[in-house]
């Protein structure tokens, strides 16, 4: 078990999300960086969908009330177990009474703290993710407070620790791009925007404003203008959809997005790039590249293959490490 000693309420328990409820108005929630979640779970031998604590603001400090192994993935801020610094994306053993402190990173937003078997919270509508708007799921349907006590689902799971995984930032070659490139499919209302605006969308670097969070990313840049103003009834939308309200400044729906909206949709971030977008810090910039449906599917396939390969290598190491 761990006791949260220091946190902001923006830390929350997340798994891969709540699928299948959008038509009832139940949003998906789930980890903003599903690659980090799954790789961290693999480090401990957890199921890929096991829940972890997603941490967007630092420092966060927890105390272990028993001997327990853990892993930290997601970001590249300092990770201290008492006064020993751990490598990034690493698994380790904590002893009873030890404190783990996670510090901020300047270029990656979110960290994940994984425990053996996942964080032990009840499944609600098929997921352990916190639905912050609906106040259900996760730990008591809310973000974490200091004093909260969270249990590992399989504290005795065991297996080797003290090793790590190459972060997808390095493995997928996105670590050193000064402005991250996010792949986007044109969406239903793409053609209502002027040619100049469409060009501006692809060619400018967009600023991620401080009004960006798990619900959505609000961007700022040269405004995008529709040929004729379009009013639409609210209709179903999913995470990744890029809406353009009348002020011409796009909003990208993220994991806690509401399931419907009425603004024109200019594009959709492809699934394979949602993890990357979810990790880009507020205040930095992002660019978009247009892809076709086939390229989006291919990117998804390649990412799945990469992830399965990395997870298989971890599983092999866990089986044979002495």
Query: Which residue ranges make up the site for other proteins (CB under 8 A)?
Result: 76, 87-90, 107, 162-167, 169-171, 175, 309-310, 313-314, 317
Question: Strands 181-186, 12-14: parallel, antiparallel or unpaired by DSSP?
Answer: unpaired
* Comparison of 90 and 190: residue with beta carbon closer to other proteins: 90
Contacts of 30 (CB under 8 A, 6+ apart): 14, 15, 16, 17, 18, 127, 129, 255
Nearest partner of 107 among 231, 298, 319, 283, judged by Cα? 283
Positive or negative CA dihedral for 117, 162, 314, 37? Answer: positive
Report, in Å, the least distance between residue 87 CB and other proteins. Answer: 6
Question: Do residues 271 and 239 touch, judged by C-beta distance below 8 A?
Answer: no
Report, in Å, the least distance between residue 254 CB and other proteins. Answer: 23
Count of CB atoms within 10 A of residue 69's CB?
23
Report, in Å, the least distance between residue 15 CB and other proteins. Answer: 22
Taking the C-alpha atoms of residue 258 and residue 262, their distance in angstroms, rounded to an integer, is 11
* Residue 265 bridge partners (DSSP): 243
* Comparison of 79 and 266: residue with beta carbon closer to other proteins: 79
Report, in Å, the least distance between residue 73 CB and other proteins. Answer: 11
Report, in Å, the least distance between residue 184 CB and other proteins. Answer: 26
Report, in Å, the least distance between residue 162 CB and other proteins. Answer: 6
Contacts of 165 (CB under 8 A, 6+ apart): 39, 42, 43, 73, 89, 310, 314
Report, in Å, the least distance between residue 290 CB and other proteins. Answer: 29
* Comparison of 86 and 121: residue with beta carbon closer to other proteins: 86
* Comparison of 39 and 51: residue with beta carbon closer to other proteins: 39
Alpha helices in 222-292 (DSSP H): 274-279
Report, in Å, the least distance between residue 83 CB and other proteins. Answer: 12
* Comparison of 175 and 289: residue with beta carbon closer to other proteins: 175
Report CA-CA distances (Å) from 153 to 67, 132, 241.
Answer: 14, 22, 34
* Comparison of 30 and 167: residue with beta carbon closer to other proteins: 167
Find tokens 């291919």 and name the residue.
Answer: 298
Helix (H) or strand (E) holding 11: none
Question: Do residues 184 and 253 touch, judged by C-beta distance below 8 A?
Answer: no
Taking the C-alpha atoms of residue 138 and residue 13, their distance in angstroms, rounded to an integer, is 5
* Comparison of 19 and 179: residue with beta carbon closer to other proteins: 179
* Comparison of 98 and 220: residue with beta carbon closer to other proteins: 98
């Amino acid at each position: 078990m761990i006791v949260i000693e220091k946190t902001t309420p923006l830390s929350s328990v997340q798994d891969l999300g709540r699928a299948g409820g959008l038509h009832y108005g139940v949003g998906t929630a789930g980890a903003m960086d599903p690659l980090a979640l799954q790789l961290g779970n693999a480090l401990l031998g957890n199921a890929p969908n096991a829940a972890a604590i997603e941490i967007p603001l630092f420092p966060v400090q927890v105390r272990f009330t028993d001997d327990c192994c853990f892993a930290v993935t997601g970001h590249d801020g300092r990770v201290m177990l008492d006064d020993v610094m751990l490598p990034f994306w690493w698994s380790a053993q904590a002893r009873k009474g030890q404190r783990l402190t996670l510090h901020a990173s300047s270029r990656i937003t979110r960290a994940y703290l994984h425990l053996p078997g996942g964080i032990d919270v009840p499944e609600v509508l098929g997921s352990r993710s916190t639905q912050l708007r609906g106040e259900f799921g996760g730990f008591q349907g809310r973000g974490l407070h200091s004093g909260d006590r969270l249990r590992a689902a399989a504290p005795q799971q065991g297996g080797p620790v003290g090793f790590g995984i190459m972060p997808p930032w390095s493995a997928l070659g996105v670590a050193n791009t000064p402005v991250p490139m996010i792949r986007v499919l044109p969406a239903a209302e793409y053609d209502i925007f002027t040619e100049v605006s469409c060009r501006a969308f692809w060619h400018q670097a967009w600023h991620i404003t401080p009004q960006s969070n798990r619900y959505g990313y609000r961007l700022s840049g040269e405004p995008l203008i529709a040929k004729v103003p379009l009013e639409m009834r609210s209709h179903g939308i999913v995470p990744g959809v890029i809406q353009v309200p009348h002020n011409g400044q796009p909003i990208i729906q993220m994991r806690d997005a509401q399931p419907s909206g009425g603004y024109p949709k200019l594009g959709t971030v492809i699934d394979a790039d949602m993890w990357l977008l979810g990790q880009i810090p507020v205040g930095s910039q992002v660019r978009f590249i247009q892809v076709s449906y086939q390229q989006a599917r291919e990117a998804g396939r390649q990412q799945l293959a990469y992830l399965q390969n990395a997870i298989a290598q971890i599983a092999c190491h866990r089986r044979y490490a002495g």
